[in-house]
């Protein structure tokens, strides 16, 4: 059975869905609402369950790992960031550091834009008066990166999520790997001489 498309979050509420990255300002996307014609269930097109059913080349258009595309979240984190978080959180459990990295990326991008504006104005030697500050896209930011607790919660939910291309959660995969490990002797069998 196919899902029908209804409308995007932008056409309905004039809001875009943020995807936070580790190397700059957030990406913004319009998310399509879907509807099952039979049961009238309305999932979002960026839900991990929907993304996990798509072929890889289609799934690649949305830059979020399917296990991190959690439906109850009001933002997602891009693959480049979750790859780093997957290395940091199991060892250090430091969600606050991961959150600060996302905030720092937004701030660093803004400072680069301000520097580019002022240096461009100085190099042109224009007579036009310089504005006191550069507005951040002309509106207030209403979406912020998740907190440290939010990132840890997302990591835990992603570890137990089976919304992956292979339909197996990281937790179950690790359990199966541990179960496969056997107790074998490292020394070769020797024959006993009588």
What does the pLDDT look like over 154-189, one tens digit per residue?
888 888 888 777 777 877 877 777 777 666 655 556
Angle between helices 95-124 and 79-92 (to 10 degrees): 140
Q: Report pLDDT digits (tens) over 53-62.
A: 888 888 888 8
pTM for this prediction: 0.73
CA distances, 121 to each of 69, 112, 131 (Å):
42, 14, 10
pLDDT of residue 14: 79
Helix ranges (DSSP H) in 28-78: 48-52, 56-59
Write the secondary structure of 55-84 as one string of H (helix), E (strand) and C (coil): CHHHHCCCCCCHHHCCCCCCCEECHHHHHH
**Contact (CB, 8 A) for 15 and 74:** no
Exposure of 25 in the CB half-sphere (CA atoms within 13 A): 10
What does the block give as tokens for 128? 């036009």
- What does the block give as tokens for 104? 């720092």
pLDDT at position 100 is: 92
pLDDT in tens, 13-67: 778 888 999 988 888 888 888 888 888 888 888 888 888 888 888 888 889 988 8
pLDDT at 149 over 80: yes
At how many degrees (to 10) do helices 79-92 and 148-159 cross?
A: 90
CB 35 within 8 A of CB 125: no
């Amino acid at each position: 059975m196919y899902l029908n498309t209804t409308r995007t979050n932008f056409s309905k509420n004039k809001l875009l869905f943020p995807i936070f990255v580790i190397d700059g300002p957030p990406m913004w996307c319009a998310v399509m609402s879907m509807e099952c014609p039979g049961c009238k269930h309305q999932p979002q097109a960026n839900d991990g369950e929907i993304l996990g059913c798509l072929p890889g080349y289609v799934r690649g258009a949305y830059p979020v790992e399917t296990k991190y595309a959690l439906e109850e979240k009001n933002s997602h984190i891009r693959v480049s960031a979750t790859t780093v978080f997957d290395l940091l959180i199991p060892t250090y459990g430091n969600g606050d550091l991961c959150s600060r990295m996302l905030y720092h990326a937004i701030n660093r991008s803004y400072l680069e834009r301000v520097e580019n504006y002022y240096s461009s104005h100085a190099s042109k030697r224009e007579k036009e008066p310089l504005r006191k500050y550069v507005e951040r896209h002309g509106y207030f930011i209403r979406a912020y990166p998740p907190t440290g607790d939010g990132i840890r919660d997302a990591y835990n939910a992603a570890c137990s999520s089976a919304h992956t291309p292979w339909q197996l959660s990281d937790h179950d995969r690790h359990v199966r790997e541990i179960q496969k490990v056997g107790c074998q002797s490292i020394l070769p069998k020797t024959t006993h001489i009588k």
